Amino acid sequence: MSADAVFLNACRGLPTARIPVWLMRQAGRYLPAYRELRRSYDLLTMIRTPELAAQVTLQPLAEFTLDAAIIFSDILPPLEGMGLELSFVSGKGPVIGNPIERSYDIDLLAAPPATEVMAPTLEAIRLVKHELKGRGTPLIGFAGAPFTLASYAVEGGGSRSYSRVKSLMYREPSAWKRLMTKLVTVQTDYLLRQVDAGADALQVFDSFVGLALGPDDYERYVAPYNRVLFAALVEREVPVIHYSGGTGAYLETVAASGGDVLSVDWRIALDEARRRVGKQRPIQGNLDPVAMLAPWRELRAHIDMVLAKAGAEPGYIFNLGQGLLPETPLDNVKRMVDYVQRYSPAETHKQPHTRTEEGA
Ligand code: 1CP
């Protein structure tokens, strides 16, 4: 079975000969080839130059037998198109030079089409698809979810307490509605255009929502917008992965807001996650990225635990619970990918599945 079939079938809850594996942030600083290129170009230049973005997307595939590629970009560049000034400051991470402070700032935000402002990434997708032709590796397109993007737009960068973004939410509900609605419009268009350009699957990153919000606030201030975003993606036939960070306490609500595949972090065990959202719901995750820094013996014990808790039902994609850390040893990535791909292949999906995809 090609990598294409293994990954895409797992996204659809179909049985696969083995468990597919790819890694969030699989392109990036832990790879020597990336660091080498990064000496000549800054991150935004790499993202804004289709040939460089395509090259970096393919780097991890040259090192490891991954079951999917993910286009090299970041969740934040679409904010530039809306009028926010984005930079990546070394040692600090992303910074927004003109964060949203008042309701009026939200009215000034533009909502241009992705074909205009994200053209380099769309072109990079076409280039990567061309390179992957005949190889059978699917390409994942991605975007940030509205809350996670709003948190950067209002906080001006990373945050611990999310006090600015939550204050806006609580104090000015109508401004919050306008901000989230604009983000949904921009991100929906961007994700659909990535499918037009050739993306075989999509992932929506809501990395911070569960670190910031409890269940009631999620239901009230975020879920309605996520529902609109995911519903708009259903018309296209590509599977959509919904990554939600830190939301184990209200996973059912997150799952109900959309996405074909639910991607969870390591703060919840996969058997509990599957029990709570239903065994039919494809799931992705959830190795602690810090376990990737451990000696192999310890790392293997963590991988075994993730695989055991994932169970034998179809519809499982091995991944981390969050992005790979820059200090991750290459050898651990290699051993982990090989180990997961060799894991009880014939045994994996011996149980008959209960869906109705006969002959698939
Ligand atoms: O060279 C460098 O300095 C780059 C570091 C880097 C890289 C490689 C940043 C800065 N972004 C990226 C690429 C990136 N970001 C990808 C590429 C594709 C791949 O996965 O291989 C993706 C999917 C992202 C997504 C992203 N960016 C998220 C969501 C994923 C997650 O881990 O939760 C978030 C929160 C960001 C913001 C961001 N971008 C960069 C930094 C340092 C940060 C802050 C958060 C963090 O440190 O992880």
Q: Where are the domains of the chain?
A: 27-63+68-263
207 lines ligand 1 (CB under 6 A): yes
227 lines ligand 1 (CB under 6 A): no
Which residues, 6 or more positions from 96, have their beta carbon under 8 angstroms from its beta carbon? 79, 84, 85, 86, 152, 153, 155, 156, 157
- By CB atoms closer than 10 A (0-12, 13-18, 19+), residue 8 is buried
Q: What is the pTM of this model?
A: 0.94
Write down the pLDDT at residue 354. 40
**Residue 357 pLDDT > 50, yes or no?**
no
What is residue 154's three-state secondary structure?
helix
Is the distance from CB of 46 to CB of 56 less than 8 angstroms?
A: yes
Write down the pLDDT at residue 134. 87
Which of 209, 108, 101 has the alpha carbon at shortest distance from 155?
101
**Residue 359 pLDDT > 90, yes or no?**
no
Q: Could you list the active site residues?
A: 25, 29, 38, 74, 152
CA 93 – ligand 1 centroid, Å: 9
| Torsion, CA 209, CA 214, CA 220, CA 223, rounded to 10 | 40
> What atom in ligand 1 is closest to the CA of residue 74?
15
Write down the pLDDT at residue 337. 98
Q: pLDDT digits over 220-252, tens only?
A: 999 999 999 999 999 899 999 999 999 999 999
Pairing state of beta strands 201-206 and 240-244? parallel
Write down the pLDDT at residue 45. 98
- By CB atoms closer than 10 A (0-12, 13-18, 19+), residue 185 is middle
CA 74 – ligand 1 centroid, Å: 6
The share of the chain scoring above pLDDT 90, in percent, equals 92
Give backbone dihedrals phi and psi of 263, rounded to 5 degrees, phi first: -110, 120
- CATH number for domain 27-63+68-263, candidates 3.20.20.210, 3.40.47.10, 3.40.50.11610, 3.40.228.10: 3.20.20.210
Which of 77, 71, 223 has the alpha carbon at shortest distance from 137?
71
88 lines ligand 1 (CB under 6 A): yes
Q: pLDDT digits over 333-346, tens only?
A: 999 999 999 997 44
What is the rounded average pLDDT of the residues 76-81?
98
Is the distance from CB of 153 to CB of 179 less than 8 angstroms?
A: yes
Q: Distance from CA of residue 322 to its chain's centroid?
A: 9
What is the rounded average pLDDT of the residues 36-55?
98
Using pLDDT thresholds of 50, 70 and 90, give the confidence band for residue 3. low
- Output the residue whose Cα is nearest ligand 1's atom 32: 323
**Residue 183 pLDDT > 90, yes or no?**
yes
d(CA 255, CA 244) in angstroms, rounded, equals: 9
Write down the pLDDT at residue 360. 33
CA 94 – ligand 1 centroid, Å: 9
Q: pLDDT digits over 240-293, tens only?
A: 999 999 999 999 999 999 999 999 999 999 999 999 999 999 999 999 999 999
